[in-house]
């Protein structure tokens, strides 16, 4: 299964084509809608004021409710666009956005309106594709769940069993510890008030992958496959498996996962490895954390350059922005993980 | 250019085939030798006692000293093998090694001797492939340099200009601050004395990549491409670009890189983004950090399971092991980065 | 550049997503329209009576008339559908159609209406994608032209210079020798009258590809790349380069192309090799012939099997069919060749 | 499974790396040896006088006789080389060889000795890789068999049942009709006497592929997959499935394959489609024919050009050449078909 996301923030529509979807899958549009709704901005001050219905239209690959194996094309119409907000920024790239890099890459032919193809809005078709992947995984007893592990340095607590993780993932503000969640919200609102933004991190778990998938080699390595999917999510700047960056502070005696046998199954007592050894799944849950940068769109004046004249200029970004994308990104990280898991499984 | 590494720790030879190497490259075997020597274990107590000449033989793709464009096959003979050390561990996987996952993946047909195809020894052909990639990059004014950024929580200082970084990378123990390097060595030797091991991290910089390479999309995203190459290096468990996991603690005002114009060039005053925005290079150095886990091979008794009987057993790992692989991995990370940079450039 | 075609004959829309289109191409929708019109059925009795506007809508990847480098999604709405014609054939596959193979591949979830995703109608987005590819080639002085080389054993004459070939390609019935063209039309009309169909062949030429592209190896071989693109065109059953199947009847002295020097350029006096030696372009025009099978949709009664009961049954295909697809396939073969040429060029 | 062939005719060794070989395959070196012996030149005047042992050495991926799933590297040493034969031709490309195209592609850095990487000798590792593929197919009840269908216009008769085809394939000169085989041999010897060469064709059958594999789409189309593998065999210039180029002379009533039910299985009474409809297997044997050009190496004087001076020159090719490669290519076509079948099966 291979996916291609297309569209621009202020174009007529955005969408995704999934090639190689197994035939015979009864596509559950309700769970897809749910995932899209999880990532859509709410009128709670924590997100952009842009509102989109995110109605998914199936153009192809589905017949009488079931996938046919032919490419599945899912399209979402755009509507609530304020393109004029961006006119002023056409030649003055916003710091740390894709504007400048995209301008060079596109030889100046960038659709600059609302981030164009770089927009976080493109995560809607990714979530839709992920919903298809999740259904294929569910058929095999595999599920994916994520929660906010931190925002602006405020950490959620660790999960103890997988059920509480799934419960947390389904919350409107997906944290295990709601008190911590309130602190995070306050941090977001404060950032917003200061015309600023905040970053954070998401922890994600894939449960049910059998042992023995993958290989140590480039191209077949499970960590490599997951990371390539995850870095395609806008704002993700780090991917860490198991103990992650913590390994740099550990000894082998601390980091090694002792084996045990439970109900005839070979397990490990701890899971610092995050379910992967030597690039291959070991049967334990695949666990990883992604770090998301603070939204580069902030209201304060910033230093830019006029790409026509080469002169340094000060800009101010108008428009409706997210002071934080971490909470909205939770289903998107799950989607990328689900698509990665499908690739690992050879689906 | 695509590479395939083959071989096992205790097989007759290890090697790599590089497909798509541009023709006409005068292959510099001296710099290749140098990179291989940087990763080879030294008799300093910081590494395994295994000694290999790591003499690279070119089987194909080279004629009169120049690449022909046909697949380049590089082979290194194995010699210093103590296969009997591993006999006892055949059916009792070493915790946090690839043994168990590999046993399942190979349906029990694993070459268990010395880690087989999972062995760190396979990084020798990777370093050789990286040396080819580095030469191709050098022709375009691009270079790669890495240093140990931490071992067991002892941090090297930050680099200030690229020249001191290149100098550090070339050191026998590649750190910027040699005093910190001595502390790290002490930590390694202490771990070794305790039959234990330690983890750490490597920071790597790719200088000279032009702006505008890559795309935000899956499969063409620069961070995605780098990460897939990096996770194929054994022991790497986290990859973080620019400010990396630090982004989770930052505000947009701190994390955004203001633009400036210098000598007619568009630059950014800071480089928290690590040279990549929206999955595309922005012309600043590509900077990332990888975390490497402590070597799972430790001398202390550990809990395993007998895969024949399904019973829990205690094992002790004999043989010659690295108490830390971080210092030896520096040229390997550079190699993976160089191969990734070639992919990004469409070489 | 990679393309994915989606859609079904009787779905809401068909289309294509092109990934990796170079930025800055001023997309010429007029020549695209022309290619689509060349493949569309005309009311001349030589083709199906189905009529479609084939209006191409650009969903993404185009801004102010130029490609942005982001995925280009082209969509064509379906309209003139008679789905009920196919109801009766749902479980009784039409001989030599994709029906049976598709039924098995889709686990019974086939969109059987009008051939579904197997329909010749899907060549419309292919022609559209080819029009993009042709424009990219034109920028490099490369063009593609094809003509009907035979229908039901009636052969067009050989081309002598490239100009007459381009003129022929642009004709409503693309042959060099119009008298032969009339014979072919008669053969088609006769087949139609007999509720039958006829096959034929198309010769295609790609002019302007520089020498030195490709490699002898699997995956990079120019003949291999072209053939994979060409066999994705429905009805194509054979692909032959240069002298093609004629080589089996030749001696080396006849088949070898002697070198000559003209205006300082190395050319060959003959071009039996079809512009490719050892899997690499030699600078001469790339010439190949594809054979297209007679349309399997014929009006006469045919032997099928009821897939529900496993019993042999006789079927009659209602609906509107092409008694021959060769003349309509000319721009489609050109499209596949143009996409292949782009791949060979690394576009 | 993906393969990369490396080596040059006059280098130290040639070989192949197979990635993704399923673990647990007991590698049968005897049948591999047999296939290599089928393609090796015999002292019968029908082939080159070059003699090589073609001893396959397994460098990696095999442990205790079984594949481990790690890359399998097979190497064959070169020995019987007369490199000086080629010195004179270094800058005067042999007509219709890869010399000129290869010279340009390699920017002048071509290993010109004995065809270098373009040499027919590289089909030895291809045959070895094919032997691995054949074993994997055999486990699934699938086999591949080919025979010479024509040499210089002399046609072998058609096969009637699969058993006689397998018998023919195993013959030293693999034809169904030995009398025709003698005629072919005479044609080869006559060509040789005239310092000339002859072309021909090979028909190949893959039996046992289940229905429902593949897709109509580019990249997943069974005919496209097979053709890409087949065109990577040197000298192949045409690939035709089922009735092949004959379709151009047929009506639908002749070309359509009527269904029948036998022993509860859906079959077709004829197999003009060659086992593939709409790019998907239909359960009937996959049948195709490849055309091989006459060997371009002929002893007669030929017109070339001196690439240093740009002047036209006459050359004579010394050395030991094959007056025909068709008979030696039979196991090589089988190998390519077996590798294609594995790709189609997702092995």
Q: Tens digit of pLDDT for each residue in A232-270? A: 999 999 999 999 999 999 999 999 999 999 999 999 999
pLDDT value at residue B222: 98
Nearest to C323 by CA among C227, C144, C214, C190: C190
pLDDT band at C15; cut points 50, 70, 90: very high
Nearest to A205 by CA among A232, A234, A167: A167
pLDDT band at C221; cut points 50, 70, 90: very high
DSSP state, D257? Answer: -
Alpha helix (H) residue ranges in chain B: 29-39, 84-87, 99-105, 123-138, 162-170, 178-193, 222-231, 252-255, 326-345
With pLDDT > 70 as the criterion, what percentage of chain B qualifies?
100
SS3 B208: coil
**CA gap C119, C103 in Å, rounded:** 14
The HSE-up count of residue A31 (CA atoms within 13 Å, CB side) is: 14
Checking if the pLDDT of B209 tops 80, the result is yes
Q: How far is A64 from chain B (nearest CA, A)?
A: 30
Q: Establish if B199 touches chain A: CB-CB under 8 angstroms.
A: yes
Checking if the pLDDT of D85 tops 80, the result is no
**CA gap A39, A331 in Å, rounded:** 6
Instruction: Say if residues D171 and D152 touch (Cβ distance below 8 Å).
Output: no
> What tens digit of pLDDT does each residue of D150-209 get?
999 999 999 999 899 999 999 999 999 999 999 999 999 999 999 999 999 999 999 999
Q: Establish if B217 touches chain C: CB-CB under 8 angstroms.
A: yes
Chain C CA closest to residue B21 = C215
Nearest to B256 by CA among A292, A113, A295: A295
**CA gap D7, A292 in Å, rounded:** 46
Residue-by-residue DSSP string for A307-334: TTTTEEEEE---S---S--HHHHHHHHH
Sign of CA dihedral A169, A172, A174, A177: negative
Which chain B residues have a beta carbon less than 8 Å from that of D8?
Answer: 60, 63, 68, 70
Question: What is the domain-level CATH number for residue A243?
Answer: 3.60.150.10
Which chain D residues have a beta carbon less than 8 Å from that of C264?
Answer: 310
Show the domain range for B322.
2-345
For strands A311-315 and A302-306, give the pairing. antiparallel
Q: Do A23 and C105 touch (CB under 8 A)?
A: yes
Query: What mean pLDDT is predicted for residues B211-216?
Result: 98
Task: Give the list of residues 6+ apart from residue A249 with CB closer than 8 angstroms, or none.
Answer: B152, B153, B199
Q: Centre a 10 Å sphere on the Cβ of residue B64 and count the other Cβ atoms it contains.
A: 9
Q: When comparing pLDDT for A280 and B88, which is higher?
A: A280
Instruction: Say if residues C326 and C317 touch (Cβ distance below 8 Å).
Output: no
The HSE-up count of residue B191 (CA atoms within 13 Å, CB side) is: 32
Q: Do A215 and D346 touch (CB under 8 A)?
A: no
The HSE-up count of residue B287 (CA atoms within 13 Å, CB side) is: 18
**CA gap A42, B260 in Å, rounded:** 36
* The length of chain C, given as a count of residues: 347
Instruction: Say if residues B338 and B134 touch (Cβ distance below 8 Å).
Output: yes
Range 21-80 of A in CB contact (< 8 A) with B: none
Nearest to D327 by CA among D107, D169, D195, D209: D169
Q: When comparing pLDDT for B260 and D48, which is higher?
A: B260
Chain A CA closest to residue C10 = A60
Checking if the pLDDT of D82 tops 90, the result is no
Q: How far is D92 from chain C (nearest CA, A)?
A: 10
pLDDT band at C81; cut points 50, 70, 90: confident
CB-CB: which of B98, B215, B250 is closest to A105? B215
Q: Do A11 and C71 touch (CB under 8 A)?
A: no
**CA gap D226, D18 in Å, rounded:** 18
What's the whole-model pTM score?
0.97
Q: Establish if A201 touches chain B: CB-CB under 8 angstroms.
A: yes
Query: What mean pLDDT is predicted for residues C57-65?
Result: 97
Checking if the pLDDT of C50 tops 80, the result is no
pLDDT value at residue C168: 97
Checking if the pLDDT of D335 tops 80, the result is yes
pLDDT band at A89; cut points 50, 70, 90: confident
Q: Do C215 and B346 touch (CB under 8 A)?
A: no
Average pLDDT, chain B: 95
Nearest to B120 by CA among B40, B31, B4: B40
- Which candidate in C9, C59, C66 is best for mutational testing of the A interface (most A CBs within 10 A)? C59
Return the structure tokens found at B74: 């590089």
Which chain B residues have a beta carbon less than 8 Å from that of A230?
Answer: 224
SS3 B289: strand
Burial class (CB in 10 A: 0-12, 13-18, 19+), D159: buried
CB-CB: which of C69, C215, C220 is closest to B215? C69
Q: Do B63 and D111 touch (CB under 8 A)?
A: yes
Q: Do A68 and C110 touch (CB under 8 A)?
A: yes
Q: Establish if C295 touches chain D: CB-CB under 8 angstroms.
A: yes
Checking if the pLDDT of D319 tops 90, the result is no
Q: How far is A134 from chain C (nearest CA, A)?
A: 20
pLDDT value at residue A321: 83
Number of domains in chain B: 1
> What tens digit of pLDDT does each residue of B32-86 get?
999 999 999 888 888 887 777 889 999 999 999 999 999 999 999 998 777 777 7
Q: Do D19 and B4 touch (CB under 8 A)?
A: yes
Burial class (CB in 10 A: 0-12, 13-18, 19+), A17: buried
pLDDT value at residue D89: 87
**CA gap B231, B225 in Å, rounded:** 10
Q: Establish if C308 touches chain D: CB-CB under 8 angstroms.
A: no
Which chain A residues have a beta carbon less than 8 Å from that of D220?
Answer: 19-20
Element of type H or E holding A337: helix A326-345
**CA gap B303, C282 in Å, rounded:** 64
Q: Which position has the token pair 């561990």?
A: B89
**CA gap A291, A276 in Å, rounded:** 20
Residue-by-residue DSSP string for D103-141: HHHTTT----GGGGGGSGGGHHHHHHHHHHHHHHHHTTT
Which chain C residues have a beta carbon less than 8 Å from that of D193?
Answer: none
Instruction: Say if residues A95 and B273 touch (Cβ distance below 8 Å).
Output: no
pLDDT value at residue C251: 97
Checking if the pLDDT of A103 tops 80, the result is yes
What ipTM goes with this model? 0.97
Q: Do C117 and A68 touch (CB under 8 A)?
A: yes
Lowest mean pLDDT among A61-70, C88-97, C179-188, C329-338: C88-97
């Amino acid at each position: 299964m291979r996916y291609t996301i297309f569209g621009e923030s202020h174009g007529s529509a955005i969408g995704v084509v999934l090639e190689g979807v197994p035939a015979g899958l009864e596509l559950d549009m309700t769970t897809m809608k749910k995932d899209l709704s999880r990532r859509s901005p709410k009128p709670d001050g924590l997100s952009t004021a842009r509102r989109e219905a995110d109605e998914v239209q199936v153009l192809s690959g589905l017949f009488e409710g079931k996938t046919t194996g032919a490419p599945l094309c899912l399209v979402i119409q755009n509507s609530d666009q304020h393109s004029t907000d961006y006119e002023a920024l056409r030649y003055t790239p916003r710091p740390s956005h894709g504007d400048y890099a995209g301008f060079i890459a596109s030889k100046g032919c960038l659709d600059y309106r609302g981030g164009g193809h770089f927009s976080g809005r493109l995560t809607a078709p990714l979530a839709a594709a992920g919903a298809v992947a999740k259904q294929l995984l569910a058929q095999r007893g595999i599920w994916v769940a994520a929660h906010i592990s931190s925002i602006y340095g405020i950490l959620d607590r660790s999960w103890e069993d997988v059920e509480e993780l799934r419960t947390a993932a389904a919350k409107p503000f997906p944290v295990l510890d709601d008190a911590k969640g309130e602190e995070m919200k306050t941090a977001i609102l404060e950032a917003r008030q200061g015309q600023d933004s905040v970053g954070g991190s998401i922890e994600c778990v894939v449960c049910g992958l059998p042992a023995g998938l993958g290989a140590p080699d480039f191209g077949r390595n499970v960590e490599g496959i997951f990371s390539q999917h995850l870095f395609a999510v806008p704002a993700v700047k780090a991917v860490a498996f198991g103990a992650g960056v913590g390994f740099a502070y550990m000894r082998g005696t601390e980091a090694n996962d002792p084996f045990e046998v439970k109900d005839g199954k070979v397990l490990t007592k701890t899971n610092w490895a995050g379910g992967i050894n030597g690039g291959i799944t070991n049967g334990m849950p695949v666990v990883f954390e992604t770090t998301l940068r603070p939204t580069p769109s902030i209201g304060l004046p910033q230093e830019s350059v006029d790409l026509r004249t080469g002169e340094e200029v000060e800009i101010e970004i108008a428009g409706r922005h997210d002071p934080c994308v971490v909470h909205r990104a939770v289903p998107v990280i799950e989607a990328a993980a689900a698509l990665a898991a499908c690739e690992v499984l050879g689906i």
